[in-house]
Every structure is written in C-alpha cells, then in structure tokens.
Chain A
Amino acid sequence: MSSAVDHHDDHHGPVTLKDGFGKWVMRWISTTNHKDLGTLYLWFAFIMFFVGGAMALVIRAELFEPGMQFVQPEFFNQMTAMHALVMIFGAVMPAFVGLANWMIPMMIGCSDLALPRVNNWGFWILPFAFTILLSTLFVPGGAPAAGWTMYPPLSLQTSNAFPMLIFSVHLMGISSITGAINVVVTILNMRAPGMTLLKMPLFVWTWLITAYLLIATMPVLAGAVTMLLTDKYFGTSFFSASGGGDPVMFQHIFWFFGHPEVYILILPAFGIVSTIIPTFARKTLFGYDSMVYATASIAFLSFIVWAHHMFTAGMPVAAELFFMFSTMLIAVPTGVKVFNWVATMWRGSMTFETPMLFAVAFVFLFTIGGFSGLMLAIAPVDFQYHDTYFVVAHFHYVLVPGAVFAIMGGVYYWLPKWTGVMYNEKLGKLHFWLTAIFVNVTFFPMHFSGLAGMPRRIPDYAVQFADFNMWSSIGAFGFGFAQLIFLWVVVQSCLKKGEAATSRVWEGAHGLEWTVPSPAPYHTFEEPPMIADAEITAVHDEPAKA
C-alpha cells in the first residue's frame, strides 16, 4: 500500500460555522478549493433537480387526464421549455462538473484544479444565470415557451423574457467553457508521476473528452443565440425569411451544438458506471483501451450526425441517408461499451450495494434508450416518430435512467469518501427500487402514446391516449417523491449521521482517491503520490510501471 500520501495536517482546515456566520459565508463565496467547489456544484445541481422536477410535475399533472385542468396552454409551454433548460444546464451538467471537481484531482493525484480562481468564478456565474432564467417566470409575457431548442420564428415571439433567456444561456456557456478548460489543463498538466494517459481512470478519460466537446460546441450555441438576439433587436435577418434569412439554418446551427451536447450529458455517466461496476464485480474493467477508443469515436461521430433531428425539415435523399447511416454508426462504439460492462460483470463476485444497483440499472435501461434511438435514426420511419412522445420516451430513457442514474450511483459511491460516514444502505436501496420502478412507469408508456401519434409539447390530447398518460403521470409523481428519500439520505450523511467509513470504503475499490482517509482531508496530494500497482490494476488490465 502506498503510504507516500502526504496529508499536510499543518494546513489549517476550512472555516466552519463555529468561526462565525459571516466568515463561513465568505469561505464559500471566495473558496478556490476543488472539494468546496465540487460540493457547491453538487448542491446547486441538487436544488435545480428539484426545481426542474417541480416543473415536470406541473406538466404531468396537466396531462393526467385529457382536457385542460390546471394551467393555461401558454404556461404549459413555459413549463416544457423551462423544465428542459433547468434540467440540462442546471442539474445534469453542474452535477457532472461537481463530480469532476471533487474526483479528478483525487484520481490523478494532484492538489487542486489547475486554475482554482477560474473555477470559483465558473461556479458563481451559475446562480446568477439561473436567477435570471427563473425570474422570467414573473416578467410580463411569462417565461420562454418555445422549447429548449429555441427555434425561430416562434422563439422570436418571446416577449420580455427573451433577452433574459439569451443572457442566461450566455452565462451558462461561459461557466461550462471555463470549467471545461480547467478540466483539460488539469488532466494534461497535473497528473502524478506514473499516471500516464492510458492509465487514467475512465471517469477522467470520459471527462477529458467531454471537456473538448464543451469547448468545441458551447461557443456555437452562444453564436446561435447571439444571432437570435440581433435578429430580434438589431434588424439582422440571419433566420428571418423577410430579410432573406432562413429559419431552418438555425436548426442546423443549433443541432451542430445540440447533438454533441447530448453526449456531453452521457459521456461522464459512462465514466462513472465504468468505475462502479469493476468495484462491485471485484474484477478489472473489461477492455479498458477499447473503452477509451469507443468514447473518442463517439465524440468524433457526434459532430456528423446532427441532422437526424431534422429529417422532416426537408432534406435531399442523399443527406437523409448520410445522417441516417452516420447516426447508426454511433451505435457501434456504444455497443462496445455495453458489452464491456456486461463482460466486466461476467463471473465477477458481485454484490449489490446501492451504487451498483444504479450502475446495473443504467446498463439495462440506457440500452433501451439506445435502441429507441436506433429506431429514430431510420429516416423514413422518423417521419412518423418525429415530435411525438416516442422521442420524449427515447431521450428520457437515455437521460434519466442514463445520466441521472449514473450521477445518483456516483453520489452513493463517493459520499462516504466526502462525508466520512456510510450512508443509510437500507434507505439507499429503497430509493433505488422506487426510482427504478417509477422511472419505467413514467417513461415506458410514452413509447406507446408516441407510436399511437401523441404529439409532444401539447397540453391536451385525444382521449385515446388517456390510459398511457395516466400511467406516466402516476409514475412521475412516484418518481418525484422517491427523490425526497435521496435528499434525506444525503443530508443525513452530511450531518455525519452513520457509521464511520474506512479509507477504502468499498472492498473492491481501487484508485488513488481511496488511499486518502475518509472524509477526504481538505487538502490532498499536495506532494505527488507514489502510485501503487494495485490502484492501477483495477482500472486497467495491466499493472502500472511507474
């Protein structure tokens, strides 16, 4: 076992509430510590998860029965647009950045991110961005209601909320880009000796590739929304047909960002699952190298498939075919990953603690989402599926039991390392089972309502869809309430209620983060550690040669 970990106990710890409230608040505002910022990002994401969830429940309450029940159609549309924006940019992305903040330095053996001030700044932009976005609910004319995709000309009809929407998207973009730059610089420049690129844990790899995707695509989104802004207020006609522009062009630019964005939302999840499964299967991850190459090829392919979101927008047959086949090609590296996870579990001595339950459910349910994606990729049939609940079912399968399950699994997995106590395993399992059951009750029927023709983003529907929708709504409320258990478990852990955790926490866990005590000291790896072979073997098929 490596004992070269230097804990620097002479460093005084962080300011706590006991030192005075004002000082404590200032600590969080001015902190540049990667663990503090990780915590802030994760709590921010958690709050946004509940805000976005509340919006989803408004949607599902209205759709419980046909006819208009609770809200006006305008407000319903605001809910669908805001739900997506809050969940994507407020919950899932910040949660991944939070995990990256906490874990990447501890996994590669450095003391902090490369640019700690930038890190602080990147986080503190977010509360402002979302205050602006959420306050649009209270301006005259209401919040943006043209969907998270913001297609013109409809989005240009947004009233006072419009500039606020654009400004908040710009802020979110700046935050993501600075975060991504920080991650790349940290990973490329600050690894401990012996931690070569192809020895890095997969979470680090997937984040490195995700960070490149962010740097390459967020600016394109910023450009697209800037053009919307100038079209509305400064007389340009990028997308306005009256001035010679073309609204369809917005769709091309948006999806040039948008499709890589969906991989930004899933690649770190792949990394988390690739970390959890070997731990609880007590085996080495199967096919480490192929995992890395699969991730890289997914990222590359994600740039040439965007128009599969636009099959019905009017494209020549050659383009339909190109985008159809390139999209299907993505299923190949994705399949490699799924097979590798299954092979890792094969004949392992598996145990099913909460993180593993989430990881196994991820493999199973994400694959269902991949299959519906393949169906949508078939251009001729997409004419039937497009803009129906089938698409809604598809992306919720990849995003909820996909990205969100991976985040939850990751939180349970690393929580003892963060707080120093074991979370309540019974409640964790209860949370998992309720979540896993209700997620299917919610989203599985949407495949059927979609195939039967129910359009998305509509507050009312024909009675033939009533049963499917009732199930979806029941599931959604069950899912929502199950998350309160999660909140309870996390809060209990943060209050240090629970058995003390060992450094290793999990019997089968390997990697540098498990060589430091639990809770992880405020400063870790001030001096680069010596990496013991055992910490590498579990993440990689070969031992380290330091």
Chain B
Amino acid sequence: MDDEQDKVGSWWLAAKLFGVTAVMFAFGFALVPLYEVVCEITGFNGQNKGLTLVASVDEAPVEDRTVRVEFLTSVHAGLDWDFASERDSIEVHPGKLYTVNFTAANHEGRDMVGQARPSVAPWQAAKHLRKTECFCFSQQPMEAGEEKLMPVRFMIDPELPDSVDTVTLSYTFFEIENVAQAN
C-alpha cells in the first residue's frame, strides 16, 4: 500500500474511533435520564409517582389486612436540626387514610430553608403509597429556633402486593442551598 494513503487511512480510522469516544462520553451522561426513566417505569429504588402529591384518594378500607408502616427520620450530616415522627410505626389497613405528625426544629441559630427527601422500601411499595399531604413536597423555611409540626396524610392502596407486610418510609432533611436541580 502507498505510504501517503496509509497515513490518511490511519488518521481517518483514528478520527472515527475518537468519535466513538465522544459518543461514549455522552452516553455516560445519557445514563442519568435513562436511569430515571427505568426507575419511573418500574418503580425501582422507591422513586416513583407514588411519592408525588395526589389531590384526593377514594377510600375503600380492606379491614382484614394490616400493613405495618415504619418511619425513619434523619438529618443530613452536619445540620443541627431536630427531626422526628410522633411514632415509630403504625398498623394500617390498605385503602384507608391515616395522619402521622412529624416535628422539625432548627437549632442552627440562623434562618434557613430545608427540604426533606422521601424514600420508600421495599421498592415494590413505592407506587402503592398515596400521599394527600406531605411536608416533603415543598421547601420548609425555618427561622432560627423555630419548631414546626408537619402532618403527613397517606394511604396504602389495596393493590400493594401480598408479599409486602411492612413498608418503610424514610425522610432525610437537607438544607436547600446551592442546589440547582431541586426537582
């Protein structure tokens, strides 16, 4: 093969491979929305429409089934807040609305804005949790020293798979600051 032709061929192939590199770099970022789509469709990871606010639910209690709902509260590292639920767990009937109160107190000595992030385990339960009221749907401004009572109204819908007898709802409070993508 002719030397010059050889060189051109080599650079052309190298350029194509570099193109593949660029595509794969972009693919790394594309995995982010892809991942969210997959989670959305399947409800993996407790990230699901069950965790969005619903205006109202139709109650149809299933009296002969009880599910235990546990609450877990935590505060992001380094934040001097109190955050707790009035009870650790509650026995509920699917199809019925319940209210549980949470309290938060800001001990940081300055006015702040916080927001709680919810998560549900096991993942199958996420899309069967209906919330008509929850503090996690909005940012919570808290003055220095302020204490707040925050009710959560929720229902487990009767479609919850039979294999699930315990649902854990956990919240972590974060300070909202420098967070561009709060969705």
**Which residues 243-266 of A have a CB within 8 angstroms of B?**
243-246, 248-249, 252-253, 256
Task: Please determine whether A215 and B17 come into contact, CB atoms closer than 8 angstroms.
Answer: yes
Q: How far is the CA of A314 from the CA of B121 in the complex (A)?
A: 9
How many positions in chain A have a CB within 8 Å of any CB in the partner chain? 43
B13 beta carbon closer than 8 Å to chain A: yes
The one of B39, B45, B178 in contact with A235, judged by C-beta atoms closer than 8 angstroms, is B178
Task: Please determine whether A315 and B44 come into contact, CB atoms closer than 8 angstroms.
Answer: yes
Question: How far apart are A228's CB and chain B's nearest CB, in angstroms?
Answer: 12
Give the interface segment out of B23-31, B80-88, B96-104. B23-31
Q: How far is the CA of A241 from the CA of B172 in the complex (A)?
A: 9
Question: How far apart are B81's CB and chain A's nearest CB, in angstroms?
Answer: 13
Q: How far is the CA of A218 from the CA of B18 in the complex (A)?
A: 12
Q: How far is the CA of A142 from the CA of B10 in the complex (A)?
A: 44
Evaluate whether A217 and B31 lie within 8 angstroms (CB atoms) in the complex, with A114-B10, A235-B179 already known.
Answer: no
- With a cutoff of 8 Å between Cβ atoms, the chain B residues found around residue A190 in the complex are 6, 10
Task: Please determine whether A237 and B179 come into contact, CB atoms closer than 8 angstroms.
Answer: yes
Task: Please determine whether B20 and A216 come into contact, CB atoms closer than 8 angstroms.
Answer: yes
- With a cutoff of 8 Å between Cβ atoms, the chain A residues found around residue B9 in the complex are 189
Evaluate whether A189 and B123 lie within 8 angstroms (CB atoms) in the complex, with A181-B17, A238-B32 already known.
Answer: no
Task: Please determine whether A243 and B24 come into contact, CB atoms closer than 8 angstroms.
Answer: no
Task: Please determine whether B35 and A252 come into contact, CB atoms closer than 8 angstroms.
Answer: yes
Main secondary structure on chain A at its contact with chain B?
Answer: helix
B182 beta carbon closer than 8 Å to chain A: yes
B47 beta carbon closer than 8 Å to chain A: yes
Interface string of A281-321 (1 = CB under 8 A from B): 00000000000000000000000000000000011100100
Q: How far is the CA of A236 from the CA of B13 in the complex (A)?
A: 36
Task: Please determine whether A245 and B181 come into contact, CB atoms closer than 8 angstroms.
Answer: yes
**Which residues 26-58 of B have a CB within 8 angstroms of A?**
26-29, 31-32, 35, 39, 42, 44-45, 47
Q: How far is the CA of A500 from the CA of B135 in the complex (A)?
A: 81
Q: How far is the CA of A245 from the CA of B183 in the complex (A)?
A: 9
A222 beta carbon closer than 8 Å to chain B: yes
Task: Please determine whether A248 and B174 come into contact, CB atoms closer than 8 angstroms.
Answer: no
The one of B18, B35, B47 in contact with A181, judged by C-beta atoms closer than 8 angstroms, is B18
Question: How far apart are B6's CB and chain A's nearest CB, in angstroms?
Answer: 7
B68 beta carbon closer than 8 Å to chain A: no
Evaluate whether A244 and B24 lie within 8 angstroms (CB atoms) in the complex, with A115-B10, A181-B17 already known.
Answer: no
B115 beta carbon closer than 8 Å to chain A: yes
Q: Which 5 A-B pairs give the minimum distances between C-beta atoms?
A: A223-B28, A242-B174, A219-B25, A219-B24, A243-B179
User: Which residues of A are interface residues toward B (Cβ below 8 A)?
Assistant: 114-115, 118, 177, 180-182, 184-185, 188-190, 215-224, 227, 235-238, 240-246, 248-249, 252-253, 256, 314-316, 319
Given contacts A223-B28, A242-B179, 18 further A-B contacts (CB under 8 A): A185-B14, A189-B9, A215-B17, A215-B20, A215-B24, A220-B31, A236-B180, A237-B182, A241-B174, A242-B117, A242-B176, A244-B181, A244-B183, A246-B45, A248-B45, A249-B35, A253-B31, A319-B44
